[in-house]
């Protein structure tokens, strides 16, 4: 029960962070939170394959270099190396999550960011 309550609280925080629903509209926020919890429980996605994640990241790094965006490729490699001492059992899943949200990085990312 404590775990579900904690996940519920995190989901509420997520709704607050991502949507523009005003803080005083608690019923609306709760509605979103409950819908999200339902979808997270009923999804059919498979478990993360950490080797596929590593392959995808290596491919992206190469893609940066092939298209002349060497600074970004190098920056990605440096950050992936830097995360290694902090690696946990969840690191592959977190990287998988980031890859799912990646928005054309080779085309749109800027090293200045």
Member of 30, 38, 58, 59 binding other proteins (CB under 8 A):
38
* Smallest gap from residue 50 Cβ to other proteins (A): 11
Counting Cα atoms < 13 Å in the Cβ hemisphere of 5 gives 2
Helix (H) or strand (E) holding 72: helix 70-83
Task: Name the minimum Å distance from CB 37 to other proteins.
Answer: 10
- Determine whether 64 is exposed, middle or buried from the number of CB atoms within 10 Å of its CB (0-12, 13-18, 19+): buried
Q: How far is the CB of 111 from other proteins (least distance, A)?
A: 8
Residue 42 binds other proteins, judged by CB under 8 A: yes
Residue 67 in the binding site for other proteins (CB under 8 A): no
């Amino acid at each position: 029960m404590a775990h579900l309550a904690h996940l519920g609280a995190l989901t509420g925080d997520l709704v607050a962070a991502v949507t523009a629903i005003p803080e005083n509209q608690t019923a609306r926020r709760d509605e979103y939170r409950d819908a999200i919890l339902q979808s997270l429980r009923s999804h059919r996605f498979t478990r993360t394959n950490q080797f596929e994640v590593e392959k995808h990241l290596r491919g992206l790094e190469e893609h940066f270099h092939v298209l002349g965006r060497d600074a970004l490729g190098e920056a990605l490699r440096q950050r992936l190396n830097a995360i290694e001492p902090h690696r946990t059992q969840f690191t592959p899943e977190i990287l998988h999550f980031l890859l799912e949200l990646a928005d054309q990085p080779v085309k749109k990312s800027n090293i200045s960011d």
